[in-house]
Amino acid sequence: MGIKTSSLGLKHRIKKNLSDSFMRASIANAQDRINRKRADCYAELGHFEKWRDLAMDIRSHVLDYLDYYLEQFTDSAQKAGAAVHFAKDDREAVELAKTIFLQKKAKKAVKTKSMVTEEIGLNEALEEIGIEILETDLGEYLLQLDGKDKPSHIVIPALHKDRRRIREVLAQKAGYKGDVTPEAMTRFVRGILRDAFLSADVAVSGCNFAVAETGTIALMTNEGNGRFITGIPKTLITFMGMERVVPTFEELDILFSMLARSSVGVRTSVYMSLITGPRGKADLDGPEELHIIIIDNGRSNVLAGSFKDVLRCIRCGTCMLECPAYRHVGGHGYGVLYPGPLGAALVTELAGYEEHKDVTEICSLCGACNDVCPVKIPLVESILEHRRIIAEDKRLAGWMKDAVYSQYGRVIGNSAYYASASRLARLANHAPRIGPLKEWTKARELPKIPAERFRDWFAGRKRKEAGS
Amino acid sequence: MKVSFFITCLADNVLPNVGIKSVQLLEKLGCSVFFNPKQTCCGQPLVNSGYLEKAKKSMCTLMDALLEDDCEYIVAPSGSCVLQVKEFPRFFQGDAVWESRAKLLADKTCEITDFVVNILKVTDVGAVLNGRGAYHPSCHMSRMLGVKEPPYQLLKNVKGLKLVSFKGQDKCCGFGGTFSVNMADLSGAMVKEKVRNIAAAGVDYLIGADGACLMNIQGRIRRENLNIRVLHVVEALMAG
């Protein structure tokens, strides 16, 4: 799929998603419910700020010594019997995967949820060479079944669908005849997935964290599909973004605990699969062959630049759940794979300003995300800095904006210009409702501009005092 | 105490009553208030749109104006503009002339409710306002500047005022500066939800401490013809 998920322009995308009242109701409902749960389970844990500092320190430390930890991870994983591959970009990652599939003469694959595989467009590439790849995370499965619908949240991909929509999809595309309860629908899907797990040649997984000391891949799921994926098929290919590493199990414990709480507001995920190499002689299950593909795809550049902090992200999606803009336009409003504040801070770094500069505009700079990010990424500051680079360094804001803001800067830079301009602004009550005034009045009235400014009142009072 | 009043361009031009009530409140509490008419705008609309360099001239103009009268404190009726001034030292980092002035200005500048409660040590200003009121905590002021409690401390002591909470109280109203016109549809959706929640609380007053958010919320309230009066916190504190 790649980073870009929509060909619509910014305003159209926003309008289209704002008009989807079902989606908006689903997202608002999910935000309210999960945010409450998150607050509760962090309150129970206590010392939220200290936990955030600790998690931030762990992630920052790993990023500072990423070359060291990646090497350690690679050594440990190889010692445990895994094949470790490095891919510098999406194309290389996909080619590596294809080669493994061709070697294994594999036709069918099952897959856990993984944002990095979406980022590199894995499914499409494999389908092109005739491989049938089935998503087994319930949300991702529903999106795939719905004819290539796209994830609107990085942890809860079908967040934009409510249960009625889900039933429609299941009925139309998979012949579901049951009721609209989550239990019945999940049971139905489970039947389909069980067969797929048993018949797949290759399994594909993502990676929440990779433990450097032991070469272990840690995978969290809530539905148990991770267990099947890592337990049954003979070959497992794990994709990981190169920044997913933690030093030891001690740090894994802390980050895992934060990830579960921040992503869906629970103390722990239902399942955690820890894969250290392929199956050993004494093991009853597990893959016979394990490939780990470590993906750069722009991350090295981010690491070397001024937005390094953004790489601390543990992909919990809590910034999206807290974001008031995301609430109304959903993940699809952003038109990119990583939506919300994280997307606005990260996407231009991974995929360039030229194509993605408008993502940075879907933000009112309210700062709610900063307050909940478990690894304290300065999201708002990053978004503002992107805007500055777009306007000043890259000069991509457009001549019209440049001209308007230049003029504005000149006026407010000079006391005399400002004083006359502000007197002129008294006429705004009669100005035609065009341009910004038209935009403002779409949803609200304009304030009435009073005849007397504060400065006039103050000067008048002073004159009176002097006179009396 | 000598206080230089930083009116903020929005209040100067659109909400002069906020300035008037601020001055009256400060004087009532024993301050002598200076207003330097050379002040313009803190440059936030430019900075938030990415034009930091183009905003710097206005920041220098503002620094000169607000520091000219050599007051102990500089007080503004807007958390957002105060936050911006607090960022000046970062913007002028390494600048031989302006960095130290930026630091001086940032140190002296205080949001008005914060000033009243934490510097003047007053929480009851003797105001009377009868009815139910809800307070909207503006994002920049409460989250980023960190001024959360002072408005509540002051409003709790307003006689006759029953403060109520409402759903999504601490959520952004959708203003976001130029966001409100650049992303008008989205901003509109946000303020509609905010006003829906305010209306559901059945209040007579919606009170806030940042003129821009209040202008946004009031604009929506007027569009819906709701019978809710929008007040800046200083207007509530000077009532009765």
Domains and CATH numbers, chain B: 2-118 (no CATH), 127-237 (3.40.50)
pLDDT of A1 reads 65
Where in chain A are the domains?
10-301, 399-467
Distance from CA of B98 to the nearest CA of A (A): 15
pLDDT at A269: 92
Is residue A22 within 8 angstroms of chain B, CB to CB?
no
List the single residue in A364, A370, A457 with the smallest CB-CB distance to B175: A364
* Angstroms from A388 CA to nearest CA on chain B: 4
Q: Specify the DSSP element, H or E, that contains A219.
A: strand A216-221
Give the chain B residue whose CA is nearest to the CA of A366. Answer: B139
Distance of CA B121 to the CA centre of its chain: 19
Which residues of chain B does A405 touch, with a Cβ-Cβ cutoff of 8 Å?
46, 49, 51, 54
Dihedral of CA atoms A139, A145, A149, A150 in degrees, nearest 10, equals 40
Q: Does B118 touch chain A (CB under 8 A)?
A: no
The pLDDT of residue B70: 95
Q: Choose among A391, A401, A449: nearest Cβ to B13.
A: A449
Is residue B11 over pLDDT 70? yes
Looking at residue A35, its pLDDT comes to 97
ipTM over 0.95: yes
What residues contact A307, with CB distance under 8 A and at least 6 apart?
A345, A346, A349, A382, A385
Residue matched to tokens 């939800």: B193
Chain B residues 87-116 with CB within 8 Å of chain A: none
Question: For residue A434, what is the nearest residue in chain B, using CA coordinates?
Answer: B181
| CA dihedral of residues B112, B113, B116, B121 (deg, nearest 10) | -150
Q: A56 to each of A29, A220, A312, how far by Cα in Å?
A: 29, 20, 7
Question: Given an 8 Å threshold on Cβ–Cβ distance, is B216 in contact with A444?
Answer: yes
Smallest CA-to-CA distance from A325 within B36, B176, B229 is with B176
Which residues in B lie closer than 8 A to residue A453 (C-beta atoms)? 12-13, 16
* Residue A286: per-residue pLDDT: 93
Instruction: Indicate yes or no: CB of A361 within 8 angstroms of CB of B183.
Output: yes
d(CA A436, CA B145): 28
CA of A62, closest CA in chain B: separation in Å? 28
B164 at interface of A, judged by CB pairs closer than 8 A: no
pLDDT, residue A325, reads: 98
A393 exposure class (CB count in 10 Å sphere: 0-12, 13-18, 19+): exposed
Pairing status of strand A216-221 against strand A271-276:
antiparallel
Residue A124, CB-side half-sphere exposure with 13 Å CA sphere: 11
Contact A116, A206 (CB under 8 A): yes
Nearest CA in chain A to B80: A366
Show residues of chain A in contact with B7, CB under 8 Å: 454-455
From chain A, the residues in CB contact with B185 under 8 A are 11, 14-15, 18, 442-443
Q: From the list A405, A414, A425, which residue is nearest B46 (CB)? A: A405
For the question of whether the overall pTM of this predicted structure is more than 0.90, the answer is yes
Both tokens assigned to B90: 């970062």
| B130-136 average pLDDT score | 98
Query: What is the DSSP code (8-state) at residue A389?
Result: I
Taking the Cβ of residue A35 and every Cβ of chain B, the question of whether any pair is shorter than 8 Å is answered with no
A250 CB-near residues (< 8 Å, 6+ apart): none
Provide, as residue numbers in chain B, all residues whose Cβ is less than 8 Å from the Cβ of A397. Answer: 49-50
Q: Which residues of A touch B12 (CB under 8 A)?
A: 422, 453-455
Q: Per-residue pLDDT tens for B137-164?
A: 999 999 999 999 999 999 999 999 999 9
Mean pLDDT in chain B? 97
Mean pLDDT in consecutive groups of 10 residues from the start of chain A, 468 residues: 88 96 94 97 96 98 98 98 97 97 96 95 95 95 90 90 92 95 95 94 97 97 92 96 98 96 94 95 93 97 96 97 97 95 96 95 98 98 98 96 96 95 89 91 95 96 86
The class that CATH gives domain A10-301 is: alpha beta
Interface subset of A 263-322, CB within 8 angstroms of B: none
User: Which chain B residue lies closest to A405 (C-alpha atoms)?
Assistant: B46
Backbone angles phi, psi at B136, to 5 degrees: -100, 110
Point out the residue among A18, A392, A422 whose CB comes nearest to the CB of B13: A422
